[in-house]
Amino acid sequence: MGVRAQTPRVPRKKKAAAPTRTSPRVRDDLISKAEKSQPKHANTLVNASPKAPPLDSNGQFDPTRHPPSLMTVGQLGKLMTALIREGYEIIGPTARDGAITYECVKSIADLPAGWTDEQEPGRYRLKKRDDQSLFGYSLGAQSWKKHLHAAEVRLWAAEKQNGSFRILNNEPDAASPKAFLGVRACELAAIAKQDRVLLGDKFRDPIYASRRENVFIIAVQCTQSAATCFCGSVGSGPKVAGGFDLLLTELIDTDNHRFLVEAGSARGAQLLSPLEAAPAAGSDMQAAELAIACAAQQQRQIDTQGLKEFLYENFENPEWDKLAARCLSCANCTMACPTCFCTTVEDVTDITAQHAERWRRWDSCFTLNFSYIHGGSIRSSGKSRYRQWLTHKLAAWADQFGESGCVGCGRCITWCPAGIDITEEIRAMREGVKRADS
C-alpha cells in the first residue's frame, strides 16, 4: 500500500488536538546539516576566495550581520553560473506551453522575462507585461513538489532466473544537488509541510530525504497576487520570513532593474560574497516593502477561526451535495496541490513475464480505488471523496501534524475545470449554518 492521508472521523465529542512534536523542526535540521557540510566540489565561484560569512558567538550564521544588498540582472546571471560550477542543477521558472513551469534553467535567457499570469477559478493564461520583469508572475502552474516528492519512482526491479525471481541491485542513484530559483512564501510553507510529513513523522521517506537535503533555495518575494491567492488568511505569505538560502525582491522602474538580496544561511552568504553586490540604500528597502505590501492585497480569504471543529460538525451539511453536483472527481486539485502527499504502489511486468518492477506513483483521494478495501471502496460517491479531501486538508491534517495542510496558493481553484473555489465553499457553508441557527 502507498502513503495515505488520515480519514476524517464522524462528529464526536471534542477533544484536544494531537500535540505537536517538541523536537527541532525538520527544516532547521536540514539547513544546519547543509551549513556544516559545505559544497564538496573543487571548483571555486571566482578566482578570488569568497569571504567568510558573518557568524555569531556560537559559530552560527547570523543574518543580522549580513545586511541586504543590491544585485543587478547581470550579477544574478553570475550567481546562476556560480551555482552550476558548484554542481547544482538550477530549477527555475520558464515560460513553456502557455504557462510558467519550474524546469531546468541555465541562464537569465531561460527565465520568463516580460511575462505575467492571469488566474481565475478554472482559468490560467499568460500575458505580456509592460516591462522585462523576470519574476513578474504570481505562481507557477505546478509546484516544487514534483522535484522533491516525485510523481513516480521505481522502488525495485526483479528478473526471472532459473524459474524464480531475483531482486536486482536497486540502489537508487544519488540525487544531484538542486538549486530552486524563484520559490514564493506559500511554496516555502508547502515544502516545510512536506518535510514534516515525509521526514518528521514516524516513518521517514528516504527517497524524499535524498532529494531534499541537497537543495539550495533562492526565494523571491511576491510583489503581486493572483486573483486565486489567499495565503494571507492562512498565515503562509505573501512575505517570505525564513527557510531560504538567499532571498530576492525584484525592483524595476523605467531605468533601473535590480534585486534586493538577503542571505539566510552560511552557504547563501558564501555564494553571494564574490559577486560584490552593492549595499542597499534606504530608498531600496522602502521600495521593497511597498512592493511586498501590494501582494498582500488579496481578493480571497478563508476564515480559519474554529474551522477544524466546524468541518467535523458538518459532515452532512447540504453544501456537500451541491459541491458533488459540480465536482468531476478529476483529481486536478490534489495533483496541483503543493502539500498533498498520498501515493499508491503498482507492480508491472514486461510482455515476456521475465522482468518485473514495483513503482510508487502519486495517488488521489478522488479516485475510486483510493479507499478500496476487501469488498469494495468505502467512499463510492463524489460527495464523500470531496468531503474527505477538504476535511483532511483543513481539519484532520491538524490532528495528524499540528497545523493546517493548506498554504493558500490557490492552485486548487485555478486548475479546477469546474471552477470550484474552496474559499467560497467554506463561506457558503458557514453562512448556511448561521441561517439555519437564526
The answer to whether position 230 is within a domain reads yes
Q: Residue 4's pLDDT is what?
A: 57
Determine, yes or no, domain membership for 115: yes
Last residue of a domain, one of 254, 270, 295: 295
Domain end position, chosen among 260, 295, 330: 295
Q: What are the start-end ranges of the H helices in 39-163?
A: 73-85, 145-148
* pLDDT score for 43: 35
Same-domain pairing of 178 and 83: yes
Residues 315 and 339 in one domain: yes
DSSP 8-state class, residue 277: P
Tell me the C-alpha distance between 104 and 84, whole Å. 11
Query: Which DSSP state fits 4?
Result: -
- The domain tally of the chain equals 2
Distance of CA 173 to the CA centre of its chain: 24
301 part of a folded domain = no
What CA–CA distance (Å, rounded) separates 20 from 395? 15
The pLDDT of residue 36: 43
- Which residues touch 299 (CB under 8 Å, ≥6 apart)? 225, 227, 229
- Answer yes or no: is 6 within a domain: no
> Which residues does residue 280 pair with via DSSP β-bridges, in sequence order?
none
As given in the structure block, the three cell numbers for residue 430 are 458557514
Which residues have C-beta within 8 Å of that of residue 301, sequence separation ≥ 6?
Answer: 230, 232, 233, 423
> Within this chain, do residues 89 and 50 fall inside the same structural domain, yes or no?
yes
Those residues whose C-beta lies under 8 Å from the C-beta of residue 86, and which sit 6 or more positions away, are 39, 41, 43, 45, 177, 271
- Cα 390 to Cα 416: distance, rounded to the nearest angstrom: 14
What is the phi-psi region of residue 357: left when phi exceeds 0, alpha when psi lies from -120 to 50, beta otherwise?
Answer: beta
- Check residue 373 and give its pLDDT: 87
Check whether residue 206 and residue 326 sit in a common domain.
no
Assigned domain for 165 exists: no
In angstroms, rounded to a whole number, what is the distance separating the alpha carbons of residues 315 and 94?
Answer: 42
Q: What cell numbers appear for 148 in the block? A: 522533491
Q: How far apart are CA 233 and CA 301, in angstroms?
A: 5
Q: Does residue 11 have a cis bond before it (omega within 30 degrees)?
A: no
Instruction: Assess whether 322 and 282 both reside in one domain.
Output: no
CB atoms within 10 A of CB 318: 11
Whether residue 212 is contained in a domain is answered as yes
Distant-in-sequence, close-in-space partners of 7: CB < 8 Å, separation ≥ 6: 371, 388, 392, 396
End-of-domain residue from the set 295, 321, 354:
295
**Residue 215 is inside which H or E element, if any?**
strand 215-220
Residues 289 and 312 in one domain: no
Is 351 part of any domain? Answer: no
Residues 313 and 249 in one domain: no
Shared domain for 96 and 140, answered yes or no, is: yes
Residue 238 and residue 328 share a domain: no
Same domain for 197 and 275, yes or no, is yes
Instruction: Kindly state whether residues 36 and 133 are assigned to the same domain.
Output: yes
State the pLDDT at residue 39.
38
| pLDDT of res. 372 | 87
Place of cell 513553456: 96
Residues 33 and 131 in one domain: yes
Instruction: Provide the 10 A C-beta neighbour count for residue 153.
Output: 16
Q: How far apart are CA 267 and CA 276, in angstroms?
A: 15
Q: How far apart are CA 276 and CA 264, in angstroms?
A: 17
Residue 86, in any domain of the structure: yes
Q: What is the pLDDT along the chain (438 residues), one digit of tens a residue?
A: 555 565 544 444 444 444 333 343 444 444 444 444 333 333 333 333 445 555 555 557 887 788 999 999 999 999 999 999 999 999 999 999 999 999 999 999 999 999 999 999 999 999 999 999 999 999 999 999 999 999 999 999 999 888 888 888 777 777 789 999 999 999 999 999 999 999 998 889 999 999 999 899 999 999 999 999 999 999 998 999 899 999 999 999 888 999 999 999 999 999 999 998 999 999 999 999 999 999 999 999 999 999 999 999 999 999 999 999 999 999 999 999 999 999 999 999 999 889 999 999 999 999 988 888 888 888 989 899 999 999 999 999 999 999 999 999 999 999 999 999 999 999 999 998 888 876
Task: Give the structural domain span for 210.
Answer: 26-150+171-295
